[in-house]
Amino acid sequence: MAFSHMLVPTDFGEASEEAIEVAIGLAAKLEAKITLLHSFDLSYPLIYANGFYVPMAEVVRQAQSVLRGNLTRVQERHANTQALFTRGEPWRHILHCAENGVADVIIMGTHGRPNMSRFLLGSTAEKVVRLSSVPVLTVSPRPLDRPASAVSSKSNPVEARATAR
């Protein structure tokens, strides 16, 4: 099965960065398009006990800025890349994109807690793997004791597994 369009959800964390790296490598080999997706759910303003308030407009502006930065960085290595920004439950937006033909494969980071995966029903990656109508490749972050420079060109820099639906 050849993939032509890869959806890469990102929360800007370490596991998402590894997923982006895997997507860039696969997209280059398959001449596929990449769509970065950042979706978050903050349906209430951030108000702290000391009265400090974070305006939602600023939170949105900062997240959009980081996504634009990621898009620029990825486009330097793979020009056929776009980005989507949504608000709401991330797993719902990821599945919506897959169901509406935005992508034919999802490549996403996971925090790699295999012994607890069935108990982490709140996990975005776990929900997407269970409910996706397209194949999902989950990517774990690189172990701390294995720096990128120690990875040879013949080995896989991440521990990844594909789950097809």
Question: Residue 138: what are its φ and ψ, rounded to 5°?
Answer: -100, 140
pLDDT at 155: 39
Q: Is residue 1 part of a domain?
A: no
Report residue 108 CA to chain centroid gap. Answer: 4
What CATH number has the domain bearing residue 128? 3.40.50.620
Question: Number of folded domains in the chain?
Answer: 1
Nearest CA to 136 out of 100, 101, 108, 96 is that of 108
Question: Would 47 be classed as within a structural domain?
Answer: yes
Q: Is a pLDDT exceeding 50 seen at residue 122? A: no
Q: What pLDDT does residue 137 have?
A: 95
Contact 87, 61 (CB under 8 A): no
Query: How many angstroms separate the first and last alpha carbons of the chain?
Result: 13
Q: Round the average pLDDT of the chain to a whole number and report it.
A: 81
pTM for this prediction: 0.78
pLDDT tens digit sequence for 42-93: 766 556 566 666 677 888 899 999 999 999 999 999 999 999 999 989 999 9
Number of H helices, E strands in the chain: 4, 8
Position 51 scores a pLDDT of 61
Q: Which domain holds residue 77?
A: 6-163
